């Protein structure tokens, strides 16, 4: 039997202020990959920790025909395969007791009709008081119609919250149109646009590092920082998602959302408090200040065949479902400038890609060199500039590269690392981002979700980049799987007399 929430050591790492109100969570797209791999395992983790409301039910909805029992059996297997905790029958039963599946045709205008009876019977059986969380784990094209239908049938009692998966639109125009459709029926406080990177512990820790420690903020600017490097490297390929990825590419899949959020959190001014709008106001200012990079400052790539972690893998064009001569990029590197007083002329070099040498998401803050090393010639040859490295994943933690004297006679200086590892400092494994985000949405806390204006600023930048890509045909593939991307990526930083952080 787990301990009550407030004393349970498993809760370390999750912010617990209160239990969410009773509610029903409706997942549209319940037959999909995300539901099985992320959403249900995250809900199970919340059930293990007794963080879900006492009165709670789940409806899985999709077009695929499935009965309640088959859905539950599939979700139970998903928990066994993907949850971070060992399987516990009692925790599963707490989750499964109010679980139903509804087969829906999304585009026929009857989606909410199909749900109505199930919602009403669950309200009656579980006392969920008409409160609803609708999770849209469906392609963006399916969202617009659904939000309208739900609004039309909106119950008179209870609150409503919409959680919307990425990608939110395909470009600025479609994102604006989707925002307009949503805003016709809902207030911004009812809308929770997911960027799961914001739910990662280490991304939130960036805020703690910057704003809970007096030592960093005075030096967090152009006077002391030479440049910033952000890497979102994945060793996996497209994992059978060609239909989506062919349309998205790395620029829409990672740059538009996860990457720009990492830039915003690194560059933002201190918010006056940690309420949703205060934090998001500061992030929007950064996004607005990002100068559109010219063609020379953006490099794109696509992987060819190669070896990743010792295994031979095929090239992107050979992946199932990818067009033979596809020009979809699987890699992007860019040099960005945040044009404000804090960051003017300080480059943010960013890169992201699939089938790179290994999985690694890092933010590296490279400080300027000491102005005058008073040591004998050659003594500090092995010394590199100070770097504060935030390991977002894996091996979550922070490392500071400093110069230290090599023990022994004379004065020789070398770079050493001071490391803080999450695993060593805290007892509990890190919660998955979706645990945090689903719970926050149930609690009505939008701090870790993207606001409509943030999304639109992100798309404006992507549209500008994609605009000049249309002028030429890239010579793809231009990097071998298992490497760190195309040569152009190195050239981008070498031109400035810098290089990507060594791996
Ligand atoms: P899948 O393709 O595996 O599943 C999509 C789901 O949406 C299915 O349940 C499908 O069900 C339903 N669906 C598909 N097309 C339509 C349509 N035109 N109208 C209504 N429903 C439709 O996708 P994922 O589960 O991987 O992704 C779902 C969403 O989450 C996407 O927006 C994706 O970008 C996002 N996402 C996914 C991640 C992942 O790791 N998988 C990571 C981050 C975001 P049915 O055909 O039965 O109706
Ligand atoms: C998703 C992208 O948003 O993020 C995927 O659609 C990518 O392509 C994934 O693999 C990476 O997430 P994480 O949490 O594994 O870094």
Give tens-digit pLDDT for 157-198: 899 999 999 999 999 999 999 999 999 999 999 999 999 999
The CA-based dihedral angle spanning residues 460, 465, 467, 472, taken in that order and rounded to the nearest 10 degrees:
-170
Q: Can you say whether residue 408 is alpha, beta or left, with left for phi > 0 and alpha for psi between -120 and 50 degrees?
A: left
Q: What integer is the mean pLDDT of 372-395?
A: 85
CB 340 within 8 A of CB 368: no
Say whether pLDDT at 395 is over 90: no
* Nearest atom within ligand 2 for CA of residue 238: 8
Say whether pLDDT at 71 is over 70: yes
Q: What is the DSSP string of 388-427?
A: EEEEEESS-EEEEEEEEEPSSSS--EEEEEEEEEHHHH-S
Supply the mean pLDDT for the chain: 91
pLDDT in tens, 95-121: 999 999 999 877 666 666 778 889 999
- Confidence at 151, pLDDT banded by 50, 70, 90: confident
Ligand with the closest atom to the CA of 236: 2
Cβ–ligand 2 distance for 234 under 6 Å, the answer: yes
| The pair of three-digit structure tokens given for residue 116, joined into one six-digit string | 């109505």
User: Percent of the chain scored above 70 by pLDDT?
Assistant: 94
Query: C-alpha distances in angstroms, 388 versus 42, 401, 482, 490?
Result: 31, 6, 26, 21
Cβ–ligand 2 distance for 253 under 6 Å, the answer: yes
Query: C-alpha distances in angstroms, 387 versus 144, 400, 406, 484, 502?
Result: 45, 6, 19, 20, 12
What H or E segment, with its residue span, contains residue 313?
A: strand 311-313
pTM score over 0.75? yes
| The pair of three-digit structure tokens given for residue 51, joined into one six-digit string | 């963080």
pLDDT of residue 372: 83
Hey, whose CA ends up nearest to atom 13 of ligand 2? 197
Query: In terms of Cα–Cα distance, which of 256, 334, 250 is closest to 297?
Result: 334
Cβ–ligand 1 distance for 32 under 6 Å, the answer: yes
Looking up tokens 């045909």 gives 473
| The pair of three-digit structure tokens given for residue 407, joined into one six-digit string | 């023990």
Cβ–ligand 2 distance for 360 under 6 Å, the answer: no
Cβ–ligand 1 distance for 29 under 6 Å, the answer: yes
Cβ–ligand 1 distance for 304 under 6 Å, the answer: no
Query: C-alpha distances in angstroms, 402 versus 175, 349, 366, 385, 416?
Result: 44, 22, 11, 8, 6
pLDDT in tens, 398-431: 999 988 888 988 888 888 899 988 877 776 778 8
pLDDT of residue 9: 45
Query: In terms of Cα–Cα distance, which of 480, 476, 145 is closest to 328?
Result: 476
* Nearest atom within ligand 1 for CA of residue 38: 40
Distance 169 CA to ligand 1 centre (A): 14
Contacts of 285 (CB under 8 A, 6+ apart): 268, 269, 340
Q: Which range, of 132-146, 239-253, 348-362, averages the lowest pLDDT?
A: 132-146
Q: How far apart are CA 465 and CA 469, in angstroms?
A: 7
Distance 214 CA to ligand 1 centre (A): 44
pLDDT of residue 107: 63
Cβ–ligand 1 distance for 137 under 6 Å, the answer: yes
Hey, whose CA ends up nearest to atom 19 of ligand 1? 142
Coil, strand or helix: which one is 81?
helix
CB 366 within 8 A of CB 171: no
Say whether pLDDT at 153 is over 90: no
Hey, whose CA ends up nearest to atom 4 of ligand 2? 254
- Confidence at 383, pLDDT banded by 50, 70, 90: confident
Coil, strand or helix: which one is 147?
helix
Q: How far apart are CA 98 and CA 23, in angstroms?
A: 11
**Greatest CA separation for the chain:** 82
Q: How far apart are CA 138 and CA 166, in angstroms?
A: 9
* Nearest atom within ligand 2 for CA of residue 253: 6
* Residue to substitute in 138, 146, 169 for testing ligand 1 pocket (most ligand atoms within 8 angstroms of CB): 138
| The pair of three-digit structure tokens given for residue 433, joined into one six-digit string | 């981002």
pLDDT of residue 17: 57
- Confidence at 145, pLDDT banded by 50, 70, 90: confident
CB 197 within 8 A of CB 169: no
Residue 211 CA to its chain's centroid (Å): 21
Q: What integer is the mean pLDDT of 335-346?
A: 97
Query: In terms of Cα–Cα distance, which of 392, 346, 403, 370 is closest to 220?
Result: 346
Among all residues, which ones are annotated catalytic?
Answer: 258
Query: In terms of Cα–Cα distance, which of 142, 168, 326, 311 is closest to 235?
Result: 311
* Residue to substitute in 240, 253, 259, 356 for testing ligand 2 pocket (most ligand atoms within 8 angstroms of CB): 253
Q: How many CA atoms lie within 13 A of 373 on its CB side?
A: 20
Say whether pLDDT at 330 is over 60: yes
Cβ–ligand 1 distance for 139 under 6 Å, the answer: yes
pLDDT of residue 92: 97
* Residue to substitute in 32, 78, 167 for testing ligand 1 pocket (most ligand atoms within 8 angstroms of CB): 32
Distance 90 CA to ligand 2 centre (A): 31
Say whether pLDDT at 5 is over 50: no
Distance 22 CA to ligand 2 centre (A): 31
Say whether pLDDT at 218 is over 60: yes
Say whether pLDDT at 72 is over 70: yes
Cβ–ligand 1 distance for 63 under 6 Å, the answer: yes
Looking up tokens 């963006």 gives 140
Hey, whose CA ends up nearest to atom 2 of ligand 2? 253
Question: Can you give the three-state secondary structure of 256-293, one letter per residue?
Answer: HHHHHHHHHHHHCCCCCCCCHHHHHHHHHHHHHHEECC
- Confidence at 76, pLDDT banded by 50, 70, 90: very high
């Amino acid at each position: 039997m787990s301990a009550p929430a407030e004393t349970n050591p498993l809760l370390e790492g999750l912010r617990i202020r209160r239990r969410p109100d009773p509610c029903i969570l409706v997942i549209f797209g319940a037959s999909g990959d995300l539901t099985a791999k992320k959403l249900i395992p995250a809900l199970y983790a919340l059930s293990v920790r007794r963080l879900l409301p006492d009165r709670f039910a789940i409806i899985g909805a999709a077009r695929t025909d499935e009965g309640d029992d088959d859905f539950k059996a599939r979700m139970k297997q998903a928990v066994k395969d993907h949850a971070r905790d060992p399987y516990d029958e009692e925790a599963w039963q707490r989750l499964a007791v109010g679980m139903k599946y509804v087969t829906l045709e999304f585009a026929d205008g009857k989606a909410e009709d199909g749900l109505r009876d199930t919602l009403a019977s669950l309200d009656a059986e579980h006392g969920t008081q008409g409160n609803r969380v609708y999770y849209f784990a469906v392609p963006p094209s399916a969202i617009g119609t659904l939000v309208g239908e739900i609004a039309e049938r909106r119950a008179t009692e209870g609150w409503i919250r919409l959680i919307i998966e990425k990608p939110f639109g395909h470009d600025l125009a479609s994102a604006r149109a989707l925002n307009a459709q949503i805003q016709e029926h809902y207030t911004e406080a009812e809308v929770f646009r997911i960027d799961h990177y914001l739910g990662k512990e280490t991304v939130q820790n960036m805020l703690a590092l910057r704003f809970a420690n007096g030592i960093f903020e005075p030096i967090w600017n152009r006077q002391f920082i030479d440049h910033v490097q952000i890497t979102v490297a994945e060793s996996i390929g497209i994992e059978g998602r060609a239909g989506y990825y062919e349309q998205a590419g790395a620029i829409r899949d990672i740059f538009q959302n996860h990457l720009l959020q990492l830039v915003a959190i690194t560059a933002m001014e201190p918010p006056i408090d940690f309420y949703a709008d205060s934090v998001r106001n500061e992030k929007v200012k950064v996004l607005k200040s990002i100068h559109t990079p010219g063609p020379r400052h953006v490099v794109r790539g696509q992987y060819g065949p190669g070896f990743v972690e010792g295994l031979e893998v095929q090239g992107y064009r050979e992946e199932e479902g990818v067009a033979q001569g596809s020009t979809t990029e699987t890699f992007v590197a860019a040099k960005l400038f945040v044009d404000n007083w804090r960051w003017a002329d300080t480059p943010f070099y960013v890169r992201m890609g699939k089938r790179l040498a290994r999985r690694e998401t890092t933010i590296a803050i490279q400080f300027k060199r000491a102005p005058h090393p008073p040591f004998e010639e050659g003594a500090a040859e092995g010394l590199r500039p100070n770097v504060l490295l935030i390991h977002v994943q894996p091996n979550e933690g922070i490392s500071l590269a400093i110069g230290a004297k090599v023990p022994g006679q004379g004065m020789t200086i070398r770079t050493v690392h001071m490391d803080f590892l999450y695993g060593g400092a805290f007892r509990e494994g890190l919660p998955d981002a979706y645990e945090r985000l689903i719970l926050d949405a149930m609690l009505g806390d939008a701090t870790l979700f993207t606001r409509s204006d943030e999304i639109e600023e992100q798309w404006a930048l992507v549209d500008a980049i994609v605009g000049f890509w249309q002028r030429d045909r890239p010579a793809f593939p231009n990097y071998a799987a298992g490497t760190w991307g195309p040569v152009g990526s190195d050239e981008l930083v070498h031109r400035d007399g810098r290089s990507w952080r060594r791996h």
